[in-house]
Chain A
Amino acid sequence: MSRDFTPKVITANALIEGDVIYFTADNGWTRHLCEAEVLTDEADADLRLLQAQAQPHLTVGVYLADVAPGATGPEPTHFREDFRRKGPSNLFHGKQADGLAHVQARAGD
């Protein structure tokens, strides 16, 4: 692991819904940042980005975003990524509302 590399996740928008998605370790996509694969090596990140970009039928605008390790998984380091993770601040719409349903569904498992 290179010392100066800021950990990253791969993120994009879903082709049909436009919703924010994150690339997972099993080459799939998740709606939840906490389930994203965290990349800590630059060469690995570049390779994974190419692999993620190879699914254009599912995604739009694939890119690497900085994260920091947190207690429940990766945390955004920039406020833009934080808004992408949550949804708008004026209305309880988007991820924050969907995420609540996600947490409730998990609790019911």
Chain B
Amino acid sequence: MYHYNDFDAAFVAERNRQFRAQVERRIDGSLTEDEFKPLRLMNGLYLQLHAYMLRVAIPYGSLDAAKLRQLAYLAERFDKGYGHFTTRTNIQYNWPTLSDVPDMLDALAEVEMHAIQTSGNTIRNVTSDHFAGAAADEIEDPRPVAELIRQWSTDHPEFQFLPRKFKIAVIASDTDRAVMKSHDVGLRIVEHDGERGFEVWIGGGMGRTPMVAKRLRDFLPRADLLPYLEAILATYNRIGRRDNKYKARVKITVHENGLDEIRAQVEDEFPRRRAVFGGEDQALLAEITGAFAPPAFKTSDPAPYFAARDADPVFRAWSDTNVTPHRAPGYGSVTISLKAHGATPGDASADQMRLVADLGETYGHNDIRVTHAQNLVLPHVPLADIPAVHAALKTLGLATGNIGLASDIIACPGMDYCALATARSIPVAQGIATRLEELKIEHEVGHLQIKISGCINACGHHHVGHIGILGLDRAGVENYQITLGGDPSETTAIGTRTGPGFAYDEIVPAIERLIFAYLGLRQSEEETFLEAFNRIGMAPFKAALYDAEARAYAAE
């Protein structure tokens, strides 16, 4: 875990001091809302449907016990006792008052956190693999590079007024657990002829015009990262469209100019940028890398883990879905589901956060992660301790064994909270998960990712859901469009619309019909929903959704 140096601490303290004064001037009438709004957005403060919302950055989703306990404190002291983990691995508080926000930011600074650049047309929170440092298939921990990018991009004077927001993800394995190709820039750490560097992807994104990122560079030497990123950002800053908000993301810049033209302009700018980097960034990266040294993994007998699997079918089922193999022998990564059936995806109470903090500290080398799928992870837990972790999680409703299953649903806040939403998402997720639990079929169904967005901006990643659901306002009524065949993994794909949308009270039965159709169509239990869809195509699923006979059959 990186710890702030004096510069970081002074910078955050100064920003907090400035924002406190700005809030005071807004309240005493010296600043109008038009003047204040860009200032509050620079500090992650939105005004939503029912209240203000503070979005706190969790860089590359990494937390420790002290940070998570402070997030719990904020939830209890300034909110209604809970927080909402988002698809960008941040946390949002739904109910702060304007006058409390400066105190919240000071409380965050105590644990080296802030809300800077969680909004606005800047480089946003850098995301990464939630199993970074633990995954058996990574070539190195991608977080030092993510931290380097965080430091470089924070308050970077040239990139505070980009045409639109800009999101960067960093991974270091063939398997993509960070939806890297849906980012404005995706970086994959690779090795060529014994040298480490980056594969650079550009122009991915969701929103109203979903696009899969394109490969800009096959291999970028490690030391060239920041000058090359500056060349990309400078190119985008210069030619990205500012005349139309909906055409301002870099995916449109790449689409309209063509990848070759973008590459030519970036490569043209690159030498000028490289010339002014004197190697300080590499010295800094070396320093940062030291802060992410792997924990001292213990050798312990994993026998208790296997004994618990044999003895307790509930533990066995949970560990089948929620425990992932670790690169260190005798260890596992534990994913803690924030998707109890019927609960709000991504919500955690202050008590739940404190429990996870305690477990991370006691059993998990004080390392805790947030996933883009809105769950928490203890990346490093000795297998022998996992039965104790599971027992503790059960006490606060955190032991749901559904990671990767159909009820592990991504859902944006939707119209229950968000001012931009056109329909609700949370109750749809709750309805689907509750129905799956009634039917007791999700283990039989297996790997299935359902993702729900409450508007076209696609915060709920519906475009890359195996089943995607998009909530819209159709003539003053909530209406839900379904897409099938989206894929968030390294084989990224955008889903295809099935046809007309469904009313609010029709959407859960429609998803149920799709799932039963899949069970009838799959070649074997091993063939996943996505594999079955890719093999047989849309037609039979469409029939299940829209065919009156299929409806009658499902109603029996």
B26 / chain A contacts, CB cutoff of 8 Å: 15
Alpha-carbon distance A90/B340, docked complex (angstroms): 14
Closest to A17 in B: B97
Q: With A16-B98, A18-B51, A19-B51 as known contacts, state yes or no: A88 contacts B416, CB within 8 Å.
A: yes
B125 CB, min distance to chain A CBs, angstroms: 23
Q: Does A95 contact B (CB under 8 A)?
A: yes
Instruction: Say which one of A34-42, A44-52, A56-64, A101-109 lies at the interface with B.
Output: A56-64
Closest to A62 in B: B33
B219 / chain A contacts, CB cutoff of 8 Å: none
Q: Which single member of A18, A20, A80, A91 contacts B344 (CB below 8 Å)? A: A91
Alpha-carbon distance A29/B537, docked complex (angstroms): 56
Alpha-carbon distance A78/B29, docked complex (angstroms): 33
Residue tally, chain B, CB below 8 Å to A? 29
List residues of B (33-55) whose CB comes within 8 Å of A's CBs. 33, 47-52
A87 CB, min distance to chain B CBs, angstroms: 6
Alpha-carbon distance A90/B413, docked complex (angstroms): 10
Q: Which single member of B32, B98, B430 contacts A18 (CB below 8 Å)? A: B98
Q: Which single member of A15, A20, A95 contacts B27 (CB below 8 Å)? A: A15
Q: With A56-B29, A61-B47 as known contacts, state yes or no: A89 contacts B476, CB within 8 Å.
A: no
Alpha-carbon distance A56/B35, docked complex (angstroms): 12
Q: Is the CB of B344 within 8 A of A90?
A: yes
Q: Is the CB of B50 within 8 A of A84?
A: yes
Alpha-carbon distance A13/B29, docked complex (angstroms): 16
Q: Which single member of A15, A56, A78, A94 contacts B50 (CB below 8 Å)? A: A94
Q: 3 shortest A-B CB distances, which residue pairs?
A: A88-B416, A18-B51, A18-B52
Chain A: residues with CB nearer than 8 A to chain B?
13, 15-20, 56-57, 60-61, 77-80, 83-84, 87-91, 93-95
19 A-B residue pairs with Cβ-Cβ distance under 8 Å, sorted by A, are: A16-B98, A18-B52, A20-B49, A56-B33, A61-B47, A77-B476, A78-B476, A79-B476, A80-B473, A84-B49, A88-B416, A88-B417, A89-B416, A89-B424, A89-B427, A90-B344, A90-B430, A91-B344, A94-B50
* Known A18-B48, A18-B51, A83-B49; further 10 A-B contacts with Cβ < 8 A: A16-B99, A18-B52, A57-B27, A61-B33, A61-B47, A84-B49, A89-B424, A89-B427, A91-B80, A93-B94
